[in-house]
């Protein structure tokens, strides 16, 4: 099957929209969408998309407010230890739009990716008149009015300065949003953001020529740096891409730094994250996610702060992985036909290990889950997180060496039980692609081992 197939569910045969049971708070709910999608194979990527169920619900809240909830459920299948197949539905993602008292719309998200749970929150600017139609259907505005609910206010109505800074900054931090609501001019916005005690005319001029991402970093510095340093930071610094959704959470790290470090971060003395006078937003986003390390008190630059915290987090994760995976050995009994699977894995692994590659290149496979942790440490990637897939036989993992140097790793998967293994990904250090001639030699060895090498996979380009 090359395209997704929509499948009507019993509830979809009923008239939509329709009222359903209230939520736990007693708020009425209206079901707007109830659709199932069968699992399907993408012909280009070769990835198997799981069966999913989608629902869109309008929640009617007090005082004319509302919430729009988009739910995605994913069907998971497996085999228990006693050999019985099981099927269950798990929440794949939840996207909620909430109308707040001041007319703004807040977007809350939750999704599961790579075995982890991810959450997010930001304010939606509502720049387009047809926004409700994209969320609720063609008659979205009529549905809102019919139930006596309040329509969302546009960003340029709530925030007169919204157009001044540009729509790319629509997802800026909550501090920026609060300071901008109702502010008719830049002096008011600056006073709201930095406070009355820090307000100065040169700070207003510095804010006027900066993008919101840089302003958000300056706001995080306000508690640890004097105004003179903040003004100079705004005048001399540009964030690479003006997008400030998570940057504001870096202040938790700044509180631990000494005065010398703060001065270097503000005044640009070997302090920028990339060439020129730019601070990369990806690096700042990493800082926002890193846990606080009280031992990091002196740094030379933003890059140094990023790298020190990254190393501390890596060491912490590695200790946890070693503790969790130390006793793990491959256990295929959770699969339907463990003996057949074991024979298949053994054939592929032995063929790859014995394959003759040119110029001293060779392929190895892990003996224990701790080998994967070591590979991830040396390659600076997340292959250690695939230990469970390797343990249960859902993936064959291997590494590529040149002499004594580890240069890459790969993952093979079996889309359907009993079918040939295929390449899912093959990447080098820091998830970069391998050199074309090396990748081609490894692909040839995989083909000789009976592995399907699709034209496109992660790392093929």
pLDDT of residue 305: 87
**Candidate from 61-75, 148-162, 182-196 with smallest mean pLDDT:** 148-162
Give the whole-angstrom CA distance, residue 461 versus residue 445. Answer: 19
The angle subtended at Cα 140 by Cα 139 and Cα 145, nearest 5°, is 100
Give the whole-angstrom CA distance, residue 92 versus residue 75. Answer: 9
Give the whole-angstrom CA distance, residue 31 versus residue 10. Answer: 13
Average pLDDT in the 374-386 region? 85
Q: What is the pLDDT of residues 251-274, one digit of tens each?
A: 889 999 999 999 988 886 434 444
User: Which residue is listed with tokens 């329509």?
Assistant: 151
**Of 261, 271, 281, 269, the residue nearest 303 (C-alpha):** 271
20 pLDDT higher than 60: yes
pLDDT of residue 71: 93
Tokens of 265: 């971060």
Measured from the Cβ of residue 330, the count of other Cβ atoms closer than 10 Å reads 14
Predicted confidence band at 3 (pLDDT cuts at 50, 70, 90)? very low
Q: How far is CA 128 from CA 92, 138, 250, in A?
A: 28, 14, 32
As a whole number of Å, the end-to-end CA separation of the chain is: 26
pLDDT of residue 275: 39
* Domain spans of the chain, in order of start: 1-154, 338-448
Domain covering 338-448 assigned CATH 3.40.630 in the classification = yes
pLDDT of residue 201: 96
Q: What is the pLDDT of residues 82-130, one digit of tens each?
A: 778 888 888 888 999 999 888 888 888 888 754 556 666 667 767 677 7
Sign of the C-alpha dihedral computed for residues 442, 443, 444 and 445 taken in this order? positive
Q: Where does residue 137 fall: left (phi above 0), alpha (psi -120 to 50 degrees), or beta otherwise?
A: left
Using only C-alpha atoms, what is the Rg of the chain? 27
Give the whole-angstrom CA distance, residue 115 versus residue 386. Answer: 10
Tell me if 369 sits within 8 A of 355, measured CB to CB. Answer: no
**Of 50, 132, 123, the residue nearest 93 (C-alpha):** 50
**Candidate from 6-20, 98-112, 317-331, 438-452 with smallest mean pLDDT:** 6-20
Q: What is the pLDDT of residues 396-450, one digit of tens each?
A: 999 999 988 999 999 999 876 667 899 999 999 988 889 999 999 999 999 999 9
Q: What is the pLDDT of residues 138-165, one digit of tens each?
A: 878 888 888 899 988 877 788 888 778 7
Predicted confidence band at 67 (pLDDT cuts at 50, 70, 90)? very high
């Amino acid at each position: 099957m090359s395209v997704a197939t929509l499948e009507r569910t019993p509830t979809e045969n009923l008239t939509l929209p329709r009222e359903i049971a209230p939520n736990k708070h007693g708020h009425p709910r209206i079901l707007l969408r109830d659709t199932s999608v069968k699992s399907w194979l993408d012909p280009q990527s070769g990835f198997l998309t799981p069966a999913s169920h989608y629902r869109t619900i309008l929640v009617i809240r007090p005082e004319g407010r509302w919430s729009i909830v988009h739910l995605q459920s994913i069907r998971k299948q497996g085999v228990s230890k006693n050999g019985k197949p099981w099927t269950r539905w798990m929440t794949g993602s939840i996207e909620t739009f909430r109308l707040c008292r001041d007319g703004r719309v807040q977007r809350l998200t939750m999704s599961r990716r790579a075995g982890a749970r991810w959450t997010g929150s930001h304010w939606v600017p509502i720049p387009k008149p047809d926004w409700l139609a994209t969320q609720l259907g063609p008659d979205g505005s009529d549905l809102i009015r019919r139930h006596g609910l309040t329509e969302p206010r546009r960003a340029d109505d709530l925030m007169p300065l919204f157009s001044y800074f540009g729509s790319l900054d629509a997802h800026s931090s909550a501090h920026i949003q609060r300071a901008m609501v109702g502010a008719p001019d830049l002096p008011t916005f600056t006073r709201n953001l930095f406070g009355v005690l820090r307000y100065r005319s040169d700070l207003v001029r510095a804010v006027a020529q900066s993008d919101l991402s840089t302003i958000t970093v300056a706001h995080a510095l306000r508690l640890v740096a004097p105004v003179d340093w903040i003004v100079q930071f705004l005048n001399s610094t540009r964030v690479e891409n003006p997008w400030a959704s998570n940057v504001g959470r870096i202040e938790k790290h700044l509180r631990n730094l000494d005065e010398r470090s703060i001065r270097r971060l503000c005044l640009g003395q070997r302090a920028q994250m990339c060439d020129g006078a730019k601070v990369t937003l990806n690096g700042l986003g990493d800082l926002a996610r890193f846990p606080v390390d009280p031992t990091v008190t002196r740094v030379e630059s933003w890059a140094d702060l990023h790298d020190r915290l990254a190393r501390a987090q890596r060491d912490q994760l590695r200790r946890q992985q070693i503790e969790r995976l130390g006793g793990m050995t491959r256990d295929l009994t959770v699969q339907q036909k463990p003996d057949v699977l074991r024979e298949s894995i053994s054939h592929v692994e032995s063929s790859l290990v014995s394959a003759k590659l040119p110029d001293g290149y060779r392929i190895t496979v892990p003996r224990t889950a701790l080998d994967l942790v070591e590979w991830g440490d040396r390659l600076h990637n997340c292959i250690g997180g695939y230990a469970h897939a390797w343990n249960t036989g859902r993936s064959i993992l291997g590494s590529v060496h040149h002499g004594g140097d580890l240069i890459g790793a790969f993952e093979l998967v079996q889309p359907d039980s009993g079918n040939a293994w295929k390449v899912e990904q093959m990447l080098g250090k820091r998830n970069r692609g391998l050199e074309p001639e090396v990748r081609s030699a490894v692909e040839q060895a995989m083909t000789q081992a009976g592995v399907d090498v699709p034209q496109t996979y992660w790392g093929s380009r």
